[in-house]
Chain A
Amino acid sequence: MGRWPLPRIRPGALAVWRRNILVWRKLLVPAILMNFGEPLIYLLGLGFGLGRFVGEMSGMSYIAFLSSGIIASSAMTTASFEGMYSVFTRMVPQKTYEAILATPLEIDDILAGEMLWCATKSLFSGMAILAVATVLGVVGSWQALWVIPVVFLIGLCFAGPALIMSSLAYNYDFFNYYFVLIVTPMYILSGVFYPIESLPAGVQGAVQFLPLTHAVILTRGLVAGAELPQPWLHLGVLLLCAVVSYSIALVLVRKRLQV
């Protein structure tokens, strides 16, 4: 009860997570097509097409550079889409949360379950890209498997802000602001397609504040074997982003639903 108590993590979150995964399973074929098809087209099209002209980038083949970056950016877009369009659908038109709140579950459980689910979808997409990248021969070693928990964390990091947007939205068009102003700039500026060292000095400093920059450094280090001097710093940034955004989303959703 109340609007400000600290978030509690309870087993009820898993019931919400399970609901979503059961719905996802009903639409398994298009979901898997999306998970594998998109990265395959990106990596083959850009990696080989553009890679022929680029040659090496940061000491690795362009396709290795690109695939290790896209694992992070795809985790971001997957969690963002799920946390906005799907969460909003369940919260507002479909009234699924209203139904769930008539049981012992609380808003804390629902949002924790949604965070876990968004991160799970990010995980599916990351694993699909990792599989494609392995087939294309760009994965260096077994160390790349560490990217799996990291992709889950990236999903949590971007699920939280998406939940905040859902808690503020009154229609689907509202999410365009977030995509145009936040997701797309991060996608282009955070080192997915080219090294951030090639940006102007001032911009290089600014992109350090974008969580996707830290996500890309981690995935590139783990998948393509790039240098990774401060892993805990980058993990810390992602974790902090997840915890803070979850807490803000919780306050906002309580304000919206507890009337």
Chain B
Amino acid sequence: MTTSVQHDAAAGIPVVSARGLTKRFGGQQAVNGIAFDIYPGRCFGFVGPNGAGKTTTLRMTMGLTPTSSGTLSVFGLPVTGNASAIRARVGIVPQADNLDPDFTVEENLYMYASYFGLSRGQVKSRIEGLLAFVSLTDRRALKTDTLSGGMQRRLTIARALINDPELVVLDEPTTGLDPQARHVIWGRLSELKARGKTLLLTTHYMEEAERLCDELVIMDQGRILAQGSPRELIDRHVEREVIEVRGGEGDAFLQLAEASGCRVERMGSSMYCYSQGFAPLIETLKGRHDLKYVHRPTGLEDVFLRLTGRELRD
């Protein structure tokens, strides 16, 4: 890939670098020989269905589970043997909140600092800043189990920043949050990027990946299927536009679509018709009041579904 070779030279040493990275659980290959580089100051995403190997890759990167084979380094240090030193410079936001229920909001931050060997005095002003950053200053004295899901997530993000990390790792940061809470988190993550932090995140929300990530990999069944910026991936893997038809009018639409020469895919009761341009077909559809349709530009979701298939994952 010429694009990534170019930014290799521009961006210097990768923060995370993996080659042939593999993880086996018993007879299963959870991660199957993947390679990637994450450059400083960028937001790098792992996107894929459940069970694709995203979380396992993160856990190997943080030295939380041993690799089966391949090489893996963070900050230029091999993860094996340096996990503790690496984690001292990383902030981790886990998939499920694991705040300490025995402590208040503020105490959670002081307690977490102590695990990094940071004293009260060292983090006092930083904690003020972090509480303000996640808008929890006026809730500092509350027990964590009285917070809403969105507030718990924000506190977890503040907690991950307690050691002023160079790299922030987020495993599905907005899963289970309502749209307002999700937008707040996105705003904070963009701010972190603007401050020069390197972000590494997993998600299965394409909108999230498209908004936040400079570069992403699409994973499925332990392998990387595609890699690039959201725009590159869309240009490379799908047509420019899509018409989506829902409901029982599929057959009538199928005839029109095929006549127009576009690529058709079905999922459930919906039908998707991809093409570089739809002018004649749209004209026809405007005259057909029996067919309800949505016409939109393609996005990462279309790339994702094309590469990973449309069947349900369990």
Interface residues of A (CB under 8 A from B): 1-3, 11-12, 15-16, 18-19, 22-23, 26, 94-96, 98-106, 258-259
**A99 & B84 in contact (Cβ 8 Å cutoff):** no
- In chain A, what residue has the closest Cβ to B160? A102
Report which of B62, B92, B115 forms a contact with A15, defined as CB distance below 8 A.
Answer: B115
A102-B87, A258-B65 are contacts. A94–B116 as well, Cβ < 8 Å?
A: no
The docked-state distance in angstroms from the alpha carbon of A99 to that of B163 is: 14
Query: Taking beta carbons and an 8 Å cutoff, which residues of B are in contact with A?
Result: 25, 62-66, 79-81, 83-85, 87-88, 92, 94, 96, 98-103, 107, 111-112, 114-117, 160, 163
**Chain A, residue nearest B163 (CB):** A103
3 closest Cβ pairs, A-B complex: A95-B98, A102-B92, A103-B115
Q: How far is the CA of A42 from the CA of B228 in the complex (A)?
A: 71
**Given A98-B94, A99-B94, A258-B66: A104 and B111 interface contact (C-beta under 8 Å):** no
CB distance from A106 to the nearest CB of B (A): 6
List 15 contacting pairs A-B, 8 Å CB cutoff, sorted by A. A1-B81, A2-B66, A12-B115, A19-B114, A22-B107, A96-B100, A98-B98, A102-B62, A102-B64, A102-B94, A103-B88, A103-B112, A104-B87, A105-B84, A106-B83
Min CB gap B167→A, angstroms: 12
Which listed residue (B87, B111, B112, B163) contacts A22, Cβ 8 A? B111
User: What is the chain A residue whose CB lies nearest that of B111?
Assistant: A19
CA distance A18 to B100 in the complex (A): 14
Looking across the interface, which residue of chain A has its beta carbon closest to that of B90?
A102
- B80 contacts across to A, CB distance below 8 A: 1
Closest chain A residue to B107, Cβ basis: A22
Q: Please state if A1 and B66 are interface contacts (CB–CB under 8 Å).
A: yes
- With A1-B80, A15-B115, A258-B65: A103-B99 Cβ-Cβ less than 8 Å: no
* Nearest A-chain residue to B115, judged by Cβ: A103
| Shortest Cβ distance from residue B90 to the other chain A in the assembled complex, whole angstroms | 8
Q: A1-B63, A98-B98 are in contact. List 8 more A-B contacts (CB 8 A).
A: A1-B81, A95-B94, A96-B98, A98-B94, A99-B100, A99-B112, A102-B62, A259-B25
State A23–B104 Cα separation when bound (angstroms): 11
Which residues of chain A are within 8 angstroms of B101 by Cβ–Cβ distance? 94
Closest Cβ of chain A to B109, distance in Å, is: 12
Shortest CB–CB separation between residue A3 and chain B, in angstroms? 8
CB distance from B183 to the nearest CB of A (A): 25
Q: Is the interface of B mostly helix, strand, loop or mixed?
A: loop
Q: Which of A100, A102, A105, A259 has the most CB of B within 10 A?
A: A102
A98: chain B residues within 8 A (beta carbon): 94, 98
**A11 lies within 8 A of B117 (CB):** yes
Q: Which A residues are CB-close (under 8 A) to B103?
A: 22-23
Q: How far is the CB of B141 from chain A (nearest CB, A)?
A: 13
Least CB distance, A1 to chain B, in whole angstroms: 5
Asked if residues A15 and B114 are in contact (CB atoms below 8 Å), the reply is yes
A78 to B163, CA, bound (A): 35
B117 CB contact (under 8 Å) in A15, A19, A95, A96: A15
CB pair A101–B64 under 8 Å, yes or no, is: yes
- CB-based nearest B residue for A254: B66
- Kindly state the separation between the CA atoms of A22 and B88 in the bound complex, as whole angstroms: 23
Chain B residues lying within 8 Å of A103, measured Cβ to Cβ, are: 87-88, 112, 115-116, 163
Q: How far is the CB of A193 from chain B (nearest CB, A)?
A: 36
Return the contact of A18 from the options B63, B65, B94, B114 (Cβ within 8 A). Answer: B114
CB distance from B41 to the nearest CB of A (A): 22
Please indicate which of the listed interface residues B79, B111, B115, B160 has the most CB atoms of chain A within 10 Å of its own CB: B115
- In whole angstroms, what is the CA distance A15 to B115 when docked? 6
Shortest distance between the CB of A72 and any CB in chain B (Å): 30
CB-CB < 8 A to B81: which residues of A?
1
Asked whether A104 lies within 8 Å of B117 as measured between CB atoms, the reply is yes
Residues of B contacting A1 in the complex (Cβ-Cβ under 8 angstroms): 63, 66, 79-81, 83
User: Which residue of B66, B85, B98 contacts A99 across the interface (Cβ within 8 Å)?
Assistant: B98
Residue of A nearest to B30 (CB): A259
Chain B residues with CB under 8 Å of A99's CB are 94, 98-100, 112
Q: Please give, as numbers and ranges, the residues of chain A lying within 8 Å of B87 by CB-CB distance.
A: 102-104
